[in-house]
Amino acid sequence: MEHEFLEWLRPRLPPHPNLRLGVGDDAAIVTLARDAGCVVSVDLLSDGVDFRLAEVDPRRVGRKALAVNLSDLAAMAARPLAAVVALNLPRTGALQLAQTLYEGLLPLAAEYDLAIAGGDTNVWDGPLVVCVTVLGEARPERALRRSGGQPGDCVLVTGPCGGSILGRQFDFTPRVREALLLAERYEVHAAIDISDGLALDLSRLAAASGCGAVLRTSDVPIAAAAHELARQQPELGTPLDHALGDGEDFELLLALSPTEARRLLADQPLSGQLQAIGELTLELGLWEQRPDGTHSPLQPRGFVH
Amino acid sequence: MEHEFLEWLRPRLPPHPNLRLGVGDDAAIVTLARDAGCVVSVDLLSDGVDFRLAEVDPRRVGRKALAVNLSDLAAMAARPLAAVVALNLPRTGALQLAQTLYEGLLPLAAEYDLAIAGGDTNVWDGPLVVCVTVLGEARPERALRRSGGQPGDCVLVTGPCGGSILGRQFDFTPRVREALLLAERYEVHAAIDISDGLALDLSRLAAASGCGAVLRTSDVPIAAAAHELARQQPELGTPLDHALGDGEDFELLLALSPTEARRLLADQPLSGQLQAIGELTLELGLWEQRPDGTHSPLQPRGFVH
């Protein structure tokens, strides 16, 4: 199966200036810019856990498996270079499934100028498992981290959150270009991508920075899908609940000094989506600030692995 | 679970000079030597396919999941730097299983001076899946490839083959140090590691080099385990059959010019294990040469994915 699949795949892989040796040897060789560090991230997605193959086009699964990793590179402001893709395919229809996954994955790779450098294609009696590892490059001292935030920093989000389960969980845009632009032009102290939920991921950025965080919940941009979901199933919570806890938004949370945040918000270099939603604080923990100025503890809701 | 596991893992990860940012952020940052390319390989191992968790200590599974990747780096003569580890753990006893896997994986990482840079730890209702991606470094023009062999090259193997199922499939030594030494001191034209079977992997090296290969089967070093297996189950084949087709030996096949091969065999820098077993040929295909000098086609036996 693997041999047949590679025969199909090989002519579909364009050359890439950083790929010195690609699919077909024991390992691949990727070159980096001088002074760049190799930024690496892995995500493993499984049928029944991260998607339901019976309900979703495998193209969207293939796309998502790469996109979640690109989002991790975005959170570091790293430039994507290459990916390796390991698959566990259900025995029946394995070759066709592999091809369909790649039909979703390859266009996204092309869009982000990313080489498919290699992989491991297996057939088994279990459900589909897709494990993508991405390599990117960034100068180590320039890469964004979760841990660089400071008390008093403004917290910004790159777009609206909530309700990703209605489709955005597959079709989201990893904020790679946005992160590279922001890290180039502004002094960003810390960043994280919202994979598990705005509240939970903000609490992680704050904790990694040795800070707490206050969230102005009335300023949180709420996705149309979060409103839709609240209309469809009011028992699951308000649109704000969805925005805070759903996860898989893959927007970025950024911490910048108040001065730098003001400059960034005035510029709005990302066509107006950037929104200030809170501050990092000396006091640890996660807090909600209501429009009347009162504070209360906020549950760091989200998806816990 | 992932949070608890990382609390356990973090103090067990020693610092590493090439790891600028490790476990706990959205991605890791690994630095490479100037002029080095990043050599990357991925292998995904699953319960019921690559091992049986009911029959083997998870420490050996963890060790193997890393070791097979180190063997791929060895085949390129790349220096190991870092690995990321993605897990799908069965729900019951997930934390303990993850810890036990790492108890096998971490000592091997330490032995090869490899940093554990990150991972993705998931719990699900399926069987154990372990997906390791390794990063190594090599100057791209110095890395070994399958494709550099030339007609007339001698083919050498770094150690005896066959019968790995009796235990060596878990406990083998990835030939990293051997490969680095050989690539440093000798002009090696091509290399591959024996993962799927000596005959099959030799046919792959030959094909990638645009050559055929003749194997002097009487010169193939046969592992004691291959003799043992043939004694236990004579119906499965002779010791030579096991040496040619079993796979998971993780020895290296090397192609060198006859002059260079003679120098290498005279030096025996790897404590006497290196053995010449055949030649690359202009004529395509895989051939057996018997002691009386006669040739016949040889089936490229081995494990086909």
Q: What is the ipTM of this complex?
A: 0.95
A21 has a chain B CB within 8 A of its CB: yes
Would you call A26 and B193 a contact, using CB atoms and an 8 Å cutoff?
A: yes
Percentage helix, strand, coil, to 5, in chain B?
35, 25, 40
Say what the pLDDT of residue B226 is: 97
Would you call A26 and B138 a contact, using CB atoms and an 8 Å cutoff?
A: no
Say what the pLDDT of residue A302 is: 81
Say what the pLDDT of residue A305 is: 61
The token duo for A98 is: 């592999």
Neighbours of B227 (CB within 10 A): 18
Q: In chain B, what is the straight-line distance between the N-terminal and C-terminal CA atoms, in Å? A: 33
Would you call A24 and B193 a contact, using CB atoms and an 8 Å cutoff?
A: no
Which residue type sits at B142? R
Would you call A26 and B123 a contact, using CB atoms and an 8 Å cutoff?
A: no
Rounded Cα distance, B261 and B275, in Å:
10
For residue B133, list chain A residues with Cβ-Cβ distance below 8 A. Answer: 40, 42, 84, 86, 133
Say whether pLDDT at A76 is over 70.
yes
Of A60, A84, A245, A78, the closest CA to residue A175 belongs to A78
Rounded Cα distance, B53 and B99, in Å:
14
Residue of chain A nearest B117, judged by CA positions: A40
Site of tokens 């040496």: B243
Q: What is the mean pLDDT of each run of 10 residues along chain B (305 residues)?
A: 91 95 92 95 97 97 98 98 98 97 98 97 97 97 96 98 96 96 97 96 97 96 97 95 96 98 95 91 95 89 73
User: Which pairing describes strands B129-138 and B37-46: parallel, antiparallel, or unpaired?
Assistant: antiparallel
Whole-number mean pLDDT of chain A?
95
Say what the pLDDT of residue B291 is: 87
Would you call B138 and A29 a contact, using CB atoms and an 8 Å cutoff?
A: yes
User: Phi and psi of B45, rounded to 5°?
Assistant: -115, 140
User: Phi and psi of A258, rounded to 5°?
Assistant: -55, -40
Would you call B126 and A127 a contact, using CB atoms and an 8 Å cutoff?
A: yes
Nearest neighbour of A145 by CB, restricted to B25, B34, B143: B25
Q: Burial, A271: exposed, middle or buried (Cβ in 10 Å; 0-12, 13-18, 19+)?
A: exposed
Per-residue pLDDT reduced to its tens digit, A258-292: 999 999 999 999 977 899 999 999 999 999 998 88
Say what the pLDDT of residue B305 is: 61
Nearest neighbour of A135 by CB, restricted to B24, B38, B146: B38
Rounded Cα distance, B84 and A42, in Å:
7
Nearest neighbour of B46 by CB, restricted to A73, A124, A133: A124
Q: Which residues of A153-165 are buried (b: 16+ CB within 10 A; e: fewer)?
A: bbbbbbbbbbbbb
Closest CA of chain B from A293, distance in Å: 32
CA distances to A3, A196, B163, B255, B271 from B262, rounded to whole Å, are: 35, 59, 29, 12, 16
Surface of B (114-133) touching A: CB under 8 A: 117-127, 129, 131, 133
Nearest neighbour of B46 by CB, restricted to A29, A76, A88: A88
The model carries a pTM of 0.95
For residue B138, list chain A residues with Cβ-Cβ distance below 8 A. Answer: 29
B258 three-state secondary structure: helix
Surface of B (73-102) touching A: CB under 8 A: 73, 75-76, 78, 82, 84-88
Of B262, B48, B127, the closest CA to residue A127 belongs to B127
The token duo for B24 is: 């706990």
Of B289, B287, B290, the closest CA to residue B299 belongs to B287
A208 has a chain B CB within 8 A of its CB: yes
Per-residue pLDDT reduced to its tens digit, A51-63: 999 999 999 999 9
Average pLDDT value for residue range A162-183: 96
The token duo for B114 is: 């490899």
Q: Give percent of chain A above pLDDT 70.
A: 99
Residue B229: its H or E element = helix B224-232
Rounded Cα distance, A143 and A179, in Å:
10
Closest CA of chain A from B293, distance in Å: 32
Say what the pLDDT of residue A225 is: 97
Rounded Cα distance, B38 and A30, in Å:
5
For residue A191, list chain B residues with Cβ-Cβ distance below 8 A. Answer: 26
